[in-house]
Amino acid sequence: MMTIIVVVAVILVVIAGSQLLKIAELRALSKGELIYEVSEKEGKQSGLLMLGFFAAFMAFFAWQMWSWYGLKLPVSASAHGVDTDWLTGATYAVITPVFILTNGLLFFFCFKYSYSSTRKATFFSHSNKLEMIWTIAPSLVLTVLILMGLSNWNKIMTPIADEDDRVLIELTGQQFTWTARYAGADKKLGRSHVTLIEGVNATGVDATDDNAKDDKLVKGEFHLPVGMPVQFVFRSLDAIHSAYMPHFRSQMNCVPGITTQFNFVPTKTTEEMRKITNNDEFNYVLLCNKICGAAHYNMQMDIVVESQEDYDKWLAEQKTFVE
């Protein structure tokens, strides 16, 4: 019944709309006007609306900053993340004025130069000087941004060479869970391959490899020592996953068939971050950020950052692979 009423209502609206358009057209004709010609008055109204829109747009922008900017990720919990955030801020300092100024000019010109029958448009077809200015100015700004970005990128992407002074962790993604493997006392990860997956050996660690014997597999949550460089190696068993640890400004794809890597130094313990965010239930989290299947939205693992002592204690409680 409801559906029939809705359908009838829609048909009536369409008919009424058609009739109104026809009437408007005939009325314009009777006044000797053509309905599709924009009158000067209508033009001025549109110009004014353009200016009004810009004001509303900026108000909307300000309102969003006011109400939603605070929802952004808390201060970076990794060493390189501080640089990332700084450079992001610097880029914003460049693009926000550009965004406001160019949009402002656009809508202001629309308002200022809306059609007037008494004025002529200015024939101004080119100016090499102006073209040079707005080719060179962005080039200079971009050169600076590119150089800063690249030095940052190269720093982030360099693997930690010192094997003694790092924590080595392999993260394996599979629909829809994560497994962390710690290198153990020998600081070396054993070989692994999908053909070796069997029962509890969920990521296919090679039991015959000596390096594998003291490896520790962890699910549910994994721990990191504060202040110590962590070298991650990523694997996937099925679809492509992406290991996203937003609080550490860290992300890397997990690709079946190859390993990828990323590293960072955690700088704030979970406890410290709970104080900073004023949230007793705060937890660092690893989440999947590459579409990987129906439950992609719930593929997560908690991360605990703690002091070296607490970390050593926790790691000692974890069972090694052969155990």
Partner 1 sequence: MSTHHHHAKDFLFTYIFSTDHKMISKQFLVTGFLMGFIGLIMSTLFRLQLGWPGESFEMIELLMGSWQEDGVMAPDKYLSLVTMHGTIMVFFLLTAGLSGTFSNLLIPLQIGARDMASGFLNMLSYWFFFISSVVMLCSLFVEGGAASAGWTIYPPLSALPQAIPGSGAGMTLWLVSMSIFIVSSLLGSLNYIVTILNMRTKGMSMTRLPLTIWAFLLTAILGVLSFPVLLSAALLLVFDRSFGTSFYLSDIYIGGQVLEHSGGSPILFEHLFWFLGHPEVYIVLLPALGITSEIISTMTRKPIFGYRAMIGSMMAIGFLSFIVWGHHMFLTGMNPFLGSVFTFTTLLIAIPSAVKVFNYLTTLWKGNIVFTPATMFSVGLVSTFISGGVTGLILGNSALDINVHDTYFVVGHFHIVMGLSAIFGMFAGVYHWFPKLFGRMMNNKLGNIHFWITICCAYGVFFPMHFLGFAGVPRRYYTNSEFPMFDNMIDINVFISVCAILAMIGQLVFFFNFVYSAFRGPKAPMNPWKGNTLEWTSPVEHFHGNWYGEIPAVYRWPYDYSKVNANGEYVYGEDFIPQTTPLGDDEKDGGEH
Site for partner 1 in 68-127 (CB under 8 A): 68-69, 71-73, 81, 83-84, 87-88, 91-92, 94-96, 98-99, 102-103, 105-107, 109-110, 113-116, 119-127
Query: For partner 1, which residue of 191, 193, 219, 275 counts as binding (CB under 8 A)?
Result: 193
Q: Smallest gap, in angstroms, from Cβ of residue 315 to partner 1?
A: 26
> Binding of partner 1 at residue 267 (CB under 8 A)?
no
> Binding of partner 1 at residue 224 (CB under 8 A)?
no
> Binding of partner 1 at residue 174 (CB under 8 A)?
yes
The rounded distance, in Å, linking the Cα atoms of 175 and 170 is: 17
DSSP structure class, residue 40: H
Q: Which two tokens stand for residue 190?
A: 């054993």
The answer for residues whose C-beta is within 8 angstroms of residue 236's C-beta and 6 or more apart is: 172, 173, 174, 254, 255, 256
> Binding of partner 1 at residue 201 (CB under 8 A)?
no
Region binding partner 1 by CB under 8 A among candidate stretches 143-151, 212-220, 266-274, 314-322: 143-151
Q: Which of positions 51-70 make contact with partner 1 (CB under 8 A)?
A: 53, 56-57, 60-61, 64, 67-69
> Binding of partner 1 at residue 130 (CB under 8 A)?
yes
Residue with tokens 């000596």: 210
Q: Smallest gap, in angstroms, from Cβ of residue 202 to partner 1?
A: 9
> Binding of partner 1 at residue 289 (CB under 8 A)?
yes
Q: Which of positions 304-323 make contact with partner 1 (CB under 8 A)?
A: none
Residue with tokens 């599979």: 174
Q: Which two tokens stand for residue 302?
A: 């908690």
> Binding of partner 1 at residue 207 (CB under 8 A)?
no
CA 298, chain centre distance (Å): 17
Q: Smallest gap, in angstroms, from Cβ of residue 134 to partner 1?
A: 4
Q: Which two tokens stand for residue 77?
A: 């919990």
Q: 180 in helix, strand or coil? A: strand
The rounded distance, in Å, linking the Cα atoms of 235 and 173 is: 6
Residues written for the chain: 323
